[in-house]
Amino acid sequence: MNLKRIAIFGSTGSIGTQALDVIRANPDLFEVEILTAHTNDELLIQQALEFKPNAVVIVDEKKYEKVKQALSSTLIKVFTGEQSLEEVADFETYDMMLAGIVGFAGLKPTLRAIKNKKAIALANKETLVVAGDIIMQKAVENRVPIIPVDSEHSAIFQCLVGEAKNRIEKIILTASGGPFRGKKPNFLLNVKRDHALQHPNWSMGAKITIDSATLMNKGLEMIEAKWLFNLKPEQVQVVIHPQSIIHSMVQFEDGSIKAQMGLPDMKLPIQYAMAFPQRIHNNFPRYDFKKVNTLSFEEPDLKTFRNLAIAIDALNKGGNLPCVMNAANEIAVWGFLRNRIGFLDMTDLIEKTMNHVPFIEKPTLDEYLESDAEARNYAASMVHL
Ligand code: NAD
Ligand code: MG
């Protein structure tokens, strides 16, 4: 394999830092070309000095001088401002973008990379939730592979290797159930931020951890799966699997089910996406059937975890509804993390926003962007920012 030049968008996050761990362990396979961060200047500087990329972006303009100063003895180009994410996505000098920004902010730079015919290792599921049809169409037009990093989608992708001509009956997305599995609404009513941030199996960024606690994450993933694997909504099923050993499954038209398994460790799907189609050796801990010897499955509780029911509705109706839902959810999570609204209020906020923003059946990119803005404003007006 030639040395692959990677542009890590969101390098200071959970996915970004783990991608750098993979690169650090495989210097003969990967090289860092671009690093981007929102506000964490300290970590960005440290990463830049270690990996010596061609360019870095610190989105927060207040941090620009400090980053520039700290890297002044190097040849590393330093950019700032939201717009510069798209500017560096235009660079010729990288082979693959690792899309590790969280939320809607990841959409535009990823679209730019696709237009520039760069391979995408996609962690940022919100990009597909917001504008999955446009993203997948542009990827086909530009012959760009979109390789999922999300563990469930990586599992499905791995199960589909060698099955290009075979019909999928359905896919089964596994969900851990989050920290509140088995709880009822009267418990959730009083849940606080710090409790919701304790995920049983995965250590992740704050937004996805809250999404996992509300099961919105699984809803976003159903929509992500629909676009990635070109499925009908009814072909996407969710099953709760608390041990997080089976990362997801594909059922083919002969009834045969393939599963991809392993210990929960995001470095595995990150490494798989970056090295695809190759598998590379690592020393991550291995799953031992003698230690975790019970794998259990249950139905998701859609009455208690209404965010998942809402997301299934958005998946079925399509149009701009998933985009509106995503925007409202980002505001809701933001409000919850700052103790402005309660756990169950998040659902009400999302539902009200989905009822408020006019439905568009087949939105253009501009209409998606407008729907996002309108949903964000409306939801924010209810959080009293
Ligand atoms: P995180 O919060 O840990 O990191 C987010 C990164 O994005 C940071 O580098 C931050 O600087 C950057 N960022 C945040 N807001 C930004 C903005 N407005 N503009 C530009 N950059 C911005 O998040 P994470 O957990 O690493 O998740 C990243 C993405 O990967 C999310 O879409 C998440 O759903 C997905 N994902 C994460 C995991 C995981 O284990 N963490 C698993 C599956 C999927
Ligand atoms: Mg996932």
Region for residue 244 given its phi and psi (left: phi exceeds 0; alpha: psi -120 to 50; beta: otherwise):
left
List the pLDDT tens digit at each of the 385 positions of the chain: 789 999 999 999 999 999 999 999 999 999 999 999 999 999 999 999 999 999 999 999 999 999 999 999 999 999 999 999 999 999 999 999 999 999 999 999 999 999 999 999 999 999 999 999 999 999 999 999 999 999 999 999 999 999 999 999 999 999 999 999 999 999 999 999 999 999 888 889 999 999 999 999 999 999 999 999 999 999 999 999 999 999 999 999 999 999 999 999 999 999 999 999 999 999 999 999 999 789 999 999 999 999 999 999 999 999 999 999 999 999 999 999 999 999 999 999 999 999 999 999 999 999 999 999 999 999 999 997 6
Protein residue with least CA distance to atom 31, ligand 1: 102
Gyration radius of the chain's alpha carbons:
20
Protein residue with least CA distance to atom 40, ligand 1: 204
Structure tokens at 122: 């996609």
Protein residue with least CA distance to atom 25, ligand 1: 205
The whole model's pTM is what?
Answer: 0.98
Structure tokens at 373: 């803005």
Distances (CA, A) of 207 to 76, 137, 214, 352: 30, 28, 11, 21
Structure tokens at 270: 């990150």
CA atoms of 49 and 58, how far apart (whole Å):
14
240 CA distance to ligand 2 middle (Å): 13
Which residues form the pocket of ligand 1, taking CB atoms under 6 Å from any ligand atom? 10-16, 37-38, 40, 59, 100-102, 105, 123-126, 150, 202, 204-208, 266
